[in-house]
Amino acid sequence: MSKRLTLVLLFVTFLVFAMSGCGPPTPTPTPQAPGKAILVTSTADAGPGTLRQALLDARSGDTITFDPAVFPPSAPATIYLTSNLPSITQGNLTIDGSNAGVILDGSNISEDWVSGLEISSNRNTVQGLQIVNFSSGPGIHLCGGAQNNTIGGDRGIGSGPLGQGNLVGNGEIGINLCDDGTSFNTITGNLI
């Protein structure tokens, strides 16, 4: 057999094996454990049961919700913050106030440029919150290359005042997107 014919046969044999899946096994990704539910049960700024503590405890895949007995949809309760909340850096976190009445108020913060919520990670969802009185900073700040986040949702879903939408009634900046790579974010159903 000629050298050329041998090379062609080897190449065809390689293609047949490659197309039949006879290559090395592909590792199966380990399924991620479902996240935990964290319930906010206090209107205080800090301490057990607060939003601040929930953000400190949260891991990727977790969902933070609000106790409707403390945050009734028909009479929203206010969390008066005295400093910035922990930045959302873990990714794949949901903050869901769509079945409660939650107001984040920054009027007691004396620092400059403090955001209601700062997100610097991917695949987070923020819905059903009212964010007000962050006079020099944005209500929601997406930065640091944050991608594929969802801010808001369908205002007809949920028993809260805005459903999945957010009310960002801030003095200066409602929702701010900045920094290179901050992209592919969805902002929908919000009142700004």
Query: CA torsion sign, 60 to 154 to 165 to 65?
Result: negative
Reported as a single tens digit per residue, the pLDDT across 140-171 is 999 999 999 999 999 989 888 888 999 998 76
Closest CA to 41 of 51, 28, 26: 51
| Burial of residue 175, with CB atoms counted within 10 A of its CB: 0-12 exposed, 13-18 middle, 19 or more buried | buried
Reported as a single tens digit per residue, the pLDDT across 41-96 is 999 999 999 999 999 999 999 999 999 999 999 999 999 999 999 999 999 999 99
Give the predicted TM-score (pTM) of the model.
Answer: 0.82
